[in-house]
Chains A and B, each alone.
Chain A
Amino acid sequence: MAYADDVENEELHEPTSFISKYVWSQDHKVIAIQYSTTAILVGLVALVLSGMMRMQIGFPGSIDMDATAYYQAMTMHGMIMVIYLLTAIFLGGFGNYLIPLMVGARDMVFPYVNMLSYWFYLVSVLVLLASFFVPGGPTGAGWTLYPPQAITAGTPGSEWGIILMLVSLIIFIIAATMGGLNYVTTVLQARTHGMTMFRMPLTVWGIFVATILALLAFPALFVSGLMMLLDKTIGTSFFMPDMMQFGSQLDYSGGSPILFQHLFWFFGHPEVYIVALPAFGLVSDLISVHARRSIFGYRMMVWAIVSIGVLSFVVWAHHMYVSGMNPYFGFFFATTTLVIAVPTALKVYNWLLTLWRGNIHLTVPMLFSLAFIVTFLVGGLTGLFLGNVVVDIPLSDTYFVVAHFHMVMGVAPILVVFGSIYHWYPKITGRMLHDGIGKLHFWITFLGTYLIYFPMHYLGFLGMPRRYYAYEDYPFIPDSAQSLNAFITVVAIVVGISQLLFLFNLAYSYFKGAPSGGNPWRATSLEWLTPETPPKHGNWGPSLPVVHRWAYDYGVPGAVLDYVPQTTSAEEVPVHENDHDE
């Protein structure tokens, strides 16, 4: 007997008290909201930090920020954005909300473990934020935390900040593992009647493969974090070579700093795709729904996601070209890096071919999706530059790199996060987000990011190094760079403040938004077909839905409506009368 059948026979125990419903909740939808809210709040901290850094770069001395504070802001900005915002919101937020609804499950397979996952995540965030208040402040080692400088005296936060950072990462990994086991098992083993793997929406595929990557890549971060913690606290020498500091020999001997870089990037590169693959999946669904076209090349899209996932484990050392390595390794990693461009480009072509001759509705989610495609394309193309050893070495550690990764894994996924929130907010709350505010928010954010990051490519070519506190009095940086920096700062502040529009929209529409009904976008996938909106505990009422088709039946020839929900069987499809006589 299939275990997925058991849930139908089990009684639903709906939580009744406020605490069990909204605080210690085991409902995947509540956990998803908790994850997302926490991630967005901590993301705001990182956003403010980036604004402060931009003020220092654009208008040196305009705010009270010394070099120490600058490095601390830079480190925390990077770590929060990559791990605590993007990873958490894609897997913990969208994964939790959408997986059970999209595959037709009542909940995750182990709701209690799922709940623990959120609370561990919250603890990791609190530990991270606590590092702002310890002596010496948070770590300023850069988000990659390279030893030996991450733990030696003189680096900001080498007293307590680095310890709290590592502890927080370890707790985060435990949280991500507990959640991840749930997501993978739910996708594999808890789908509803008729829901085969190849009928799942691409959102589920993206999150599913990203979660597998997370389960296999986070161990490397866990181990490197633990080893560095031991180096820092009890004086082992895993990553610490013999070294002199301030005229005296340190108590370390014979360790390998390069080992840390290998372990870190063995995690770090899959991490890029842990963020990108869910974004690929979500954006595929947004494009298909809002262009009223079935996704082009569904199976190709799935295999592209899977092969990107596999390849992402054999490219990590392209982050280490300047660390020094055997030229043959450089050749190997450059080749694998460029090979990844093939499935990635395939996905971009498929998105474009989905749009081609589609009935494109320029709704806010669609605007964000289109913005994603171009932004991802720009960021991806500069990735081809940086993937080549000979091009990477002169550009390494310049603003070109900053522009590249902010485009490809900062802005592009965030655009998908925004688009997806605009798309699924009606299901979560039963109300539409305000369209006008949404469009204003979109245009400021989209145009703003180009005004911010396009000039940075140029600054990189000029040779402006990244991670510097101040750029005055360097003969190789022309004066014009400073005016460009001031311009970027002004735009960055405007874009940063404009995010308040989004927050206001979330709050305002929750109370005043237009009622959405169950399926405002006329979409086919299961989450739009729940008996109630927002879905109640258990999602599906008395019996689970039965799936008869894939998730992309838009524009079916002969059908009355331009879409056919996944639960509609072939006989039930309403057709035009005159189509019967050929």
Chain B
Amino acid sequence: MDNTSQPTTSGMNGLIEDWVSDKDAFKNVSWGKTMMWIFLLSDTFIFSCFLVGYMSVRMTTDVPWPNTSEVFALTIAGEHIPLILIAIMTFVLITSSGTMAMAVNCGYRRQRKQAAILMLVTAVFGVCFVGMQAFEWTKLIEEGVRPWGNPMGAPQFGAAFFMITGFHGFHVSIGVIYLTVVALKVLRGDYEERGYEIVEITGLYWHFVDLVWVFIFAFFYLW
């Protein structure tokens, strides 16, 4: 073991020491984790562009924007509740971040079975989310919302809705597949030698997808 790559000082001096050192700028961070962080930074720019593009067309369109709390309302047991489905979806996704965090913890404690099960639970929450999204899409399509137009107002509403939630749902679906594959490999014991950092890397991606949803929720549904 090589002492030069161990962090010696903390705070600002430690940061500078890491960056002027040899071998690696982020000490004790694996290649995979570094790469995932950089990828997520790049992906942040993609979603930012989507949201900025959406806000921009919302300003330029000359037809009034539909009232989202009405469009996304559901009538459950005779009760008309605005945004209820989105609230449930958000709750499910944030809960899944909780189970993911627990899986990471179990991974580092080398409780391989619990880690795998918690990851699979996370994946199931993810599937629920995509399922509810499919329900929401179906409902809107039945009400006549299309990417090129809708009866409630600006045609950009449908366009931005399907594009942004579609791209996010695509990310969640990829995440579900990724979680399942890693969970099965964890269960099989593939990482006994290398350690369970892979669970944390998978978790980074999953938390990112959740965080993006919070922004979509705030900017698209609540505004």
Contacts and interface: CB of A to CB of B under 8 A. Distances in A.
A236 B31 contact: no
A184 B53 contact: no
Contacts of B50: 223
A226 interface: yes
Interface in B101-126: none
B87 interface: no
B24 interface: yes
A251 B26 CA distance: 53
A185 B38 contact: yes
B155 interface: yes
A339 interface: no
Interface string A1-25: 1111100000000000000000000
Contacts of B26: 188-189
A181 B35 CA distance: 6
Nearest to B62: A254
Contacts of B31: 3, 109-110, 185, 189-190
B151 to A, nearest CB: 14
Contacts of A184: 38
A216 B40 CA distance: 10
A547 interface: yes
A238 B57 contact: yes
Interface in B20-52: 20-32, 34-35, 38-39, 41-43, 45-46, 48-50
B155 A188 contact: no
A129 to B, nearest CB: 27
A253 interface: yes
Nearest to A188: B25
Interface string A177-207: 1001110110011111111111100000000
A60 interface: no
Interface string A227-240: 10010001111100
Interface bin, chain A: 35 or more
Given A195-B22, A220-B49, A234-B148, A2 B2 contact: yes
Q: Which DSSP category, helix, strand, loop or mixed, fits chain B's interface? A: helix
A257 to B, nearest CB: 9
B61 interface: yes
Given A219-B45, A255-B61, A3 B30 contact: yes
A191 B148 contact: no
A1 B147 contact: no
Given A185-B31, A189-B34, A223-B50, A253 B24 contact: no
Interface in B139-159: 147-149, 154-156, 158-159
B38 A237 contact: no
Contacts of B61: 253-255
A97 B58 CA distance: 46
Given A188-B24, A255-B61, A1 B1 contact: yes
A296 interface: no
B19 interface: yes
Contact of B35 (A109, A218, A237, A253): A109
A185 B36 CA distance: 10
Interface of B: 1-2, 5, 19-32, 34-35, 38-39, 41-43, 45-46, 48-50, 53, 56-57, 60-63, 147-149, 154-156, 158-160, 163
